[in-house]
Structure 1
């Protein structure tokens, strides 16, 4: 069962790490490319701030974004800002999210995310945790997948394996770590089952599209190409 209160504590800790790392940068570094194609670090920071706003909308029963064009335009608008503005926005929007998520509510209710995806309200804090952790890695400032909390890595692997389960473009796939942790996914595409072996962070990198899978070993075929998230 999802413990949303515990996940909110994890969001606070992850946000503090992000703010600490971002605070060591300067305006030049913010304008430099991130690890996400076509995005500067400023784009990543702007996205994180606007994602916090969007999750407040979700928790309060409003559409996550007015539309995809508005979402993209807001990120482009905010990306070129100075570091001080990004930091203030990250703190303010992050605090607003925490306040909304701490308000008494029915955490078993169904909420609607972007593109009509539905989920339990209790999973919203984890979704914010994932945004903060993975985009911290995307900044390219020395925080790597191996630095992520183990609990987060394992749970995000659970989440992504579930997301691709039964996908018509992915053959039946089992991912296994050396210590025996296992995830199954795919299964909607014709083809022999494959087994992928590696560390939990390397498996996460492959599942979330942040690594090419070259550190993984594959048995029974080639490494499946996963659709974009």
Structure 2
């Protein structure tokens, strides 16, 4: 269940954690490659800023982005900016998102995100937190999947396994972490079911496309291939 006050507090904390880490850089660090193919760290920061505004749009009943082309163009435009501009934009856009999320309204309503994806308005703050936490890892500055809050890791695993549940290209898969917590996903593709076990951070890395699953133990079938997010 979504806890609005908790989720907004977690978004604030994740934002401050990222700002504190990036605040130790110099301008040259912004231009260095991130872990995302073709993106510098500046691209990641620019994406996070524009994503905050986009999710505020969603909460206010507006299109998330004017178009995919506009989204991509804005990220390319903002990526080369000096560090101080990047950080100010990230903070200001984050504040705008939090203000939009704090506005009264029916949080059970359905909202439309990018590419026609729909969700409950109540889950938009958690979606913002996902962006902040996983892209902090993508910056490649010492914040790893193992450093993510455990509560976030288990919730994001549940979010992603739900996303792939019944997917026509994913075989039935049971996941178990080292603490015995269980999830299931897939089930829409033919083939033997798979049982996947490993540390929660490794399960999250595999589900989110950030690790190849080689650290996981697979029984009763091969490690399923997952579609891109």
Could you say whether these structures have the same fold, taking a TM-score greater than 0.5 normalized by the shorter chain as the test? yes
The offset of 1:178, in angstroms, is 2.0
After the TM superposition, list the runs of 4 or more consecutive aligned residues in structure 1 that deviate by more than 4 angstroms: none
Q: 1:108 aligns to what SS in structure 2? A: coil
The aligned counterpart of 2:144 is: 144
Residue deviations 1:22-75 (CA, integer Å, cap 9, x gap): 101111111000000110000000000000000010000000011111101100
Q: Does residue 185 in structure 1 map to residue 153 in structure 2?
A: no
Question: Match of 2:92, SS?
Answer: helix
Cα deviation, residue 5, structure 1: 1.6
Give distance in 2, aligned partners of 1:4 and 1:195: 34
* 1:28-177 matched pairs, under 5 angstroms: 28-177=28-177
In structure 1, the residue corresponding to 2:125 is in which secondary structure? helix
Between the aligned partners of 1:28 and 1:137, the Cα distance in structure 2 is 19
Alignment partner, residue 11 of structure 2? 11
Deviation digits for residues 81-102 of structure 1, max 9, x if unmatched?
Answer: 1101100100100000011111
Unaligned runs of 5+ in 2: none
Tell me how far apart the structure 2 counterparts of residues 178 and 103 of structure 1 sit (CA, whole Å). Answer: 40
Q: How far 1:104 moved relative to its partner?
A: 1.2
**Cα distance in 1, alignment partners of residues 81 and 227 from structure 2:** 32
Distance 1:92 1:178 in 2: 39
**Partner of 1:29: helix, strand, or coil?**
helix
| Alignment partners' CA distance in 2, 1:50 and 1:178 | 37
Distance 1:219 1:4 in 2: 38
Counterpart Cα distance in 2 of 1:223 and 1:109: 37
Secondary structure class of the residue paired with 2:105: coil
Name the SS for the 1:178 alignment partner. coil
SS of corresponding position for 1:12: helix
SS in 2 for 1:130: helix
Residue of structure 2 in register with 1:212 after alignment: 212
Q: Give the drift of 1:103.
A: 1.2
